[in-house]
Amino acid sequence: MQNVVYKKTPRLSNSYKVGSDGTIWSCWNRVGQHQYAKTEKWWQKKPSKLPKGYLLVLISNGKRNSCKQYYVHHLVLEAFIGPRLKNMICCHLNGDPSDNRVENLRWDTYEANEQDKKKHGTYWLNNRPKAKDQSQYA
């Protein structure tokens, strides 16, 4: 088992950190009814899973009742690789959208991602039903 490295990402406050294993951590803790404060204790945020398998986390901006959703894979790449450049998207090397380990992610072009999908069988045309033989109608 490899050691997990934690880094902060420029888009989030110092109250959050990102693990190289694809986990997101927060030091916001409940200190009373409807009251939260930064503490020394860090806890892992539980992401939501979208129908296609991508993971989202809710991040508070410190204001009451104000959160924003972030894709976990974007936060991992921003923390460990750097910000996304123009015309780049996040690619999962093994085709599993819930595997957000830093070694499974990279920034690349849309075209390169489509080629990856064909290699690991997640390209949508690979999964569509085949047309019936129409030769009898010719």
DSSP-based three-state secondary structure for 104: helix
**Structure tokens of 67?**
């959160």
Mean pLDDT score across all residues of the chain: 84
Compute the half-sphere exposure of residue 115: CA atoms within 13 Å on the CB side of its CA. 5
26: domain CATH number? 3.90.75.20
Does 43 fall in a domain? Answer: yes
Does 134 fall in a domain? Answer: no
What is the residue range of 62's domain?
6-128
Question: What pLDDT sits at residue 62?
Answer: 65
Q: How confident is the model at residue 36 (pLDDT cuts 50, 70, 90)?
A: confident
Does 133 fall in a domain? Answer: no
**DSSP structure class, residue 59:** E
Beta strand pairing call for 55-60 and 24-32: unpaired
9-33 pLDDT, tens digit each: 888 888 899 999 999 999 877 777 6
Does 1 fall in a domain? Answer: no
Give how many domains the chain has, as a whole number: 1
Does 83 fall in a domain? Answer: yes
Who has greater pLDDT, 131 or 54? 54
Summarize the confidence of residues 36-46 as an average pLDDT: 84
Does 138 fall in a domain? Answer: no
Does 45 fall in a domain? Answer: yes
Does 117 fall in a domain? Answer: yes
